[in-house]
């Protein structure tokens, strides 16, 4: 209570001194920018009535110095004791007269001293838009108290300051300096006032007016701010540029390092900048479009690796790798097939067929591979199986075929003999000589061609055969009019050299239509024309146009595929019905079976031309007869040799059993 008396006395003295000040000074209005100002007045029971009147006069004198208005300075008033009472808010009065009236109508609460409660109320209610607080206008609170707070003030005052409220504290008589400093804004020398007696309280009024309406301390004083200085009425405070935080000295700034704080989502490297960061990648990686994650640089995709088979990316580079069955060479780029046959690393009895890193065994002509897939056994199928040939069975290495008497043709079942009077056709074979076939398999292809030739009645007036090999280019090995006997054709076939390179099937079909079946190369009018295409892979050019033109030209087309040959392409090449003109096998070693099933003979009723009747006494007929006789003798000799070998095998088996 004694403190209240002192506080009121001080306020009375302040009011008296204020009146004693020159009138010009009192009437001088504050010309600083707009301010939202709230008085927080202690009206506890320790403040006596005449002392409170002095405080009332003190507030009236201060607001007389302010440029009051809705667009300039706004003033609110809160009194507190054990509770808080809002006397008028920032939006209540737009004119000085209304504020003075509101101050004169205050009735003191005369209870405890809950200063912290009053600060919290001002922070949460008085300085809100609903109560008239304006955005981007400084908030200033002036706390006048005469004693020690009865509640905690440090935390709530710090929260208010963090929200941008600048707090001035005025202590009268025996007010607690520690509490005043805990509530006030820094620097304390500008915001904390302790008046020892009421006759000195007017000093705060003078100083407060000077700070609120005086010079711009940021411009006219050595403020010491490292980055930015922001003026406020009678004071200033330091700010930092974006990306920096203010240090405890309230003047210097420290860059916010989001990388060091772990506040980033970079995949590999975080590069800090004040309040921000950018992501980077380790050597050998590149930053993705999301600017956060990293992907290893694909050096292989640059296309300059020169790897023959496969390029494998690694960190900061690449290396070459070969397909299975190949070995990387010393240059680190090219690959060489691991030829186990050539290196002698096999156990084949007769023929070793190499493929990358592995091998398969095969047998010489006249032998068959045993179940162990390594050893071979001589086999004459004509003498060991029920062949079903109507006329004659002819053995071939590991197989057989049936032949018919003169002037008869082999039936579609490959065994019976028909009454067709003519088997005259012009046959052109297109064989694939691309790199994928490989030399050893090309030899099997040539055997396949000769097996087909063996099934034909080849002569100048009978069937004619032409051979074309193709890869990246097309080469006529021999035309239809070059050879007139099967013996000569088969010999020429075995002398064909392997071309290698690409697979231009479309180009080969075009060559066949435009050149191979021309009269200049031996094609005959009114004689059926047959084309047979043999391939082991997908064509590297378009086949559609010339496959169609071949059929439109009246050429009966057969398609034989092996291995990676494309079924759709084969069917497009083959004539209808496909089941009689399209053949496929997975392995070159089985193409001899396809040769057995091919029916290339075309009878007279299927021919659009006339059949030439030969004069048996003509020289040409005699030559053909002689050649046919020699061929038959050779076949009989072969058969006899096979029977002899079979008898020897049986004899040896009988001796071993004894």
Instruction: Please state, in angstroms and as integers, the Cα–Cα distance from residue 589 to each residue in 272, 274, 398, following that order.
Output: 69, 75, 11
Please give the average per-residue pLDDT across 359-364, as a whole number.
91
Quick one: average pLDDT of 406-413? 59
Q: Which of residues 638 and 377 earns the better pLDDT score?
A: 377
How many Cβ atoms are within 10 Å of 255's Cβ, its own excluded? 16
Instruction: Give the mean pLDDT of 198-205.
Output: 61
E-strand spans in 15-133? Answer: 36-42, 74-80, 84-88
Q: How confident is the model at residue 195 (pLDDT cuts 50, 70, 90)?
A: confident
Residue 600: pLDDT band (50, 70, 90) is low
Residues 76-130 pLDDT 10s: 999 999 999 999 999 999 999 999 999 999 999 989 999 999 999 999 999 999 9
Domains, in order of start, for the chain = 36-213 (3.40.50.410), 426-598 (3.40.50.410)
Q: Return the structure tokens found at 521.
A: 């190369």
Is 80 exceeded by the pLDDT of residue 279? Answer: yes
Quick one: pLDDT at residue 514? 94
The whole-number pLDDT of residue 342 equals: 86
Burial 516-536 (b: 16+ CB within 10 A, else e): bbeeebbbbeebbbbbbbbbb
- For the cut 70, the answer to whether the pLDDT of residue 326 exceeds it is yes
Q: Quick one: pLDDT band at residue 639, thresholds 50, 70, 90?
A: low
The span from the CA of 587 to the CA of 594, in Å, is 11
Structure tokens at 230: 């922001």
What is the DSSP secondary structure assignment for residue 232, as one 8-state letter?
E
Phi, psi of 510 (to 5 degrees): -60, -45
Place of tokens 């070793």: 352
HEC string for 562-628: ECCCCHHHHHHHCCCCHHHHEEEECCHHHHHHHHHHCCCCCCHHHCCCCCCCCCCCCHHHHHHHHHH
CA distances in angstroms from 87 to 143, 356, 555, 595, listed in the order given: 15, 100, 113, 115
219 or 191: which leads in pLDDT: 191
Q: Is residue 29 predicted with pLDDT exceeding 50?
A: yes
Share of the chain above pLDDT 70, in %: 77
Do the bridges between strand 335-337 and strand 326-328 make them parallel or antiparallel, or are there none, so unpaired?
A: antiparallel
User: Is the pLDDT confidence value at 479 over 90?
Assistant: yes
CB 579, CB 602: distance < 8 Å: no
**pLDDT on residue 211:** 64
Does residue 614 surpass a pLDDT of 50? no
* pLDDT top residue among 417 and 161: 161
Helix (H) or strand (E) holding 280: strand 276-280
Q: Which helix (H) or strand (E) holds 533?
A: strand 529-535
| Residue reference for tokens 């208010």 | 160
H/E/C letters for each residue in 34-53? CCEEEEEEECCCCCCHHHHH
- Does the pTM surpass 0.85? The reply is no
Section 539-566 average pLDDT:
91
Among 538, 579, 517, 586, smallest CA distance to 432 is for 538
pLDDT of residue 622: 54
Q: pLDDT for 303-321, tens place per residue?
A: 777 898 889 988 778 899 9
Mean pLDDT of 469-480: 94
Q: Check residues 539 and 23 and name the one with the higher pLDDT.
A: 539
10-19, 285-294, 422-431, 617-626 — which is least confidently predicted?
10-19
Local structure of 294: helix, strand or coil: strand
Q: Tokens for 622?
A: 């005699």
Res. 628 pLDDT band, cuts 50 70 90:
low
State the Cα–Cα distance between residues 135 and 438, nearest whole angstrom.
Answer: 87
Tell me how crowded residue 126 is: count the other CB atoms within 10 A of its CB: 25
Task: Report the first-to-last Cα separation within the chain, whole angstroms.
Answer: 144
* Main-chain dihedrals φ then ψ at residue 485, nearest 5 degrees: -130, 155
Strands 228-232 and 235-239: antiparallel
Q: Is the pLDDT of residue 444 over 60?
A: yes
Task: Please check the confidence at residue 46 and state whether its pLDDT lies above 70.
Answer: yes
Q: Which residues contact 598 (CB under 8 A, 6 or more apart)?
A: 452, 455, 532, 558, 560, 583
pLDDT, average across residues 364-383:
83
Q: Which helix (H) or strand (E) holds 488?
A: helix 486-494
Contacts of 651 (CB under 8 A, 6+ apart): none
Mean pLDDT of 562-586: 87
Exposure letters 289-314 (e unless 16+ CB within 10 A, then b) = eeeeebeebebbeeeebebbeebebe
Q: What is the pLDDT of residue 408?
A: 58
Q: H-helix or E-strand containing 490?
A: helix 486-494
pLDDT, averaged across the chain? 81
pLDDT band of residue 182 (cuts 50, 70, 90) is: very high
Contact predicate 453/426, CB 8 Å: no
Residue 7 and residue 47 in contact, taking contact as beta carbons nearer than 8 Å: yes
């Amino acid at each position: 209570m004694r403190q209240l008396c002192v506080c009121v006395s001080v306020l009375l003295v302040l009011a008296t001194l204020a009146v004693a000040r020159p009138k010009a000074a009192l009437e001088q209005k504050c010309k600083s920018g707009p301010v939202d100002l709230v008085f927080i007045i202690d009206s506890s029971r320790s403040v006596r009535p005449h002392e409170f009147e002095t405080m009332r006069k003190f507030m009236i004198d201060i607001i007389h110095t302010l440029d009051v208005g809705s667009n300039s300075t706004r003033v609110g008033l809160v009194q507190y004791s054990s509770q808080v009472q809002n006397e008028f808010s920032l939006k209540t009065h737009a004119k000085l007269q209304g504020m003075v009236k509101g101050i004169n109508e205050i009735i003191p609460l005369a209870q405890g001293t809950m200063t912290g409660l009053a600060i919290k109320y001002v922070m949460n209610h008085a300085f809100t838009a609903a109560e008239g607080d304006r955005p981007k206008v400084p908030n200033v609170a002036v706390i006048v108290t005469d004693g020690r707070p009865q509640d905690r003030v440090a935390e709530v005052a710090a929260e208010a300051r963090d929200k941008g409220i600048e707090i001035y504290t005025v202590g009268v008589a025996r007010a607690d300096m520690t509490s005043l400093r805990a509530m006030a804004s820094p620097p304390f020398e500008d915001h904390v006032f302790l008046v020892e007696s009421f006759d000195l309280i007017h000093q705060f009024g003078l100083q407060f007016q000077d700070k609120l309406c005086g010079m711009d301390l940021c411009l006219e004083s050595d403020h010491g701010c490292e980055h930015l200085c922001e003026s406020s009425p009678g004071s200033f405070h330091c700010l930092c540029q974006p990306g920096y935080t203010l240090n405890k000295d309230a003047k210097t700034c420290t860059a916010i390092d989001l990388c060091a704080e772990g506040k980033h989502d970079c995949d590999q490297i975080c590069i800090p900048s004040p309040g921000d960061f950018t992501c980077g990648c380790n050597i050998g990686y590149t930053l993705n479009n999301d600017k956060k994650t990293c992907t290893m640089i694909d050096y292989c995709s640059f296309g300059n690796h020169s790897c023959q088979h496969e390029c494998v990316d690694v960190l900061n580079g690449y290396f070459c790798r070969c397909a299975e069955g190949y070995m990387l060479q010393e240059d680190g780029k090219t690959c060489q097939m691991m030829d186990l046959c050539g290196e002698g690393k096999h156990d084949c009895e007769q023929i070793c067929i190499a493929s990358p890193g592995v091998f398969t065994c095969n047998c010489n002509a006249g032998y068959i591979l045993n179940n162990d897939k390594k050893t071979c056994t001589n086999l004459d199928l004509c003498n060991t199986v029920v062949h079903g040939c109507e006329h004659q069975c002819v053995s071939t290495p590991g197989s057989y075929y049936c032949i018919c008497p003169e002037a008869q043709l082999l039936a579609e079942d490959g065994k019976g003999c028909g009454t067709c009077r003519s088997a005259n056709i012009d046959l052109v074979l297109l064989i694939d000589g691309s790199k994928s076939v490989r030399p050893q398999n090309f030899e099997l292809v040539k055997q396949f061609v000769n097996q087909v030739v063996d099934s034909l009645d080849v002569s100048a007036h009978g069937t004619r055969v032409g051979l074309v090999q193709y890869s990246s280019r097309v080469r006529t090995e021999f035309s239809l009019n070059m050879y007139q006997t099967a013996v000569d054709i088969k010999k020429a076939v075995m002398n064909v050299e392997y071309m290698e390179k690409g697979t231009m099937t479309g180009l080969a079909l075009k060559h066949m239509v435009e050149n191979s079946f021309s009269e200049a190369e031996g094609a005959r009018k009114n004689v059926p024309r047959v084309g047979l295409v043999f391939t082991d892979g997908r064509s590297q050019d378009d086949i559609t146009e010339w496959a169609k033109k071949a059929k439109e030209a009246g050429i009966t087309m057969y398609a034989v595929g092996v291995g990676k040959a494309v079924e759709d392409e084969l069917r497009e090449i083959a004539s209808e019905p496909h089941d009689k003109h399209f053949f496929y096998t997975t392995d070159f070693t089985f193409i001899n079976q396809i040769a057995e099933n091919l029916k290339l003979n075309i009878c007279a009723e299927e021919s659009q031309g006339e059949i030439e009747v030969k004069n048996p006494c003509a020289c040409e007929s005699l030559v053909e007869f002689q050649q046919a006789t020699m061929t038959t003798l050779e076949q009989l000799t072969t058969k006899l040799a096979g029977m002899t070998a079979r008898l020897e095998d049986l004899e040896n088996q009988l001796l071993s059993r004894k």
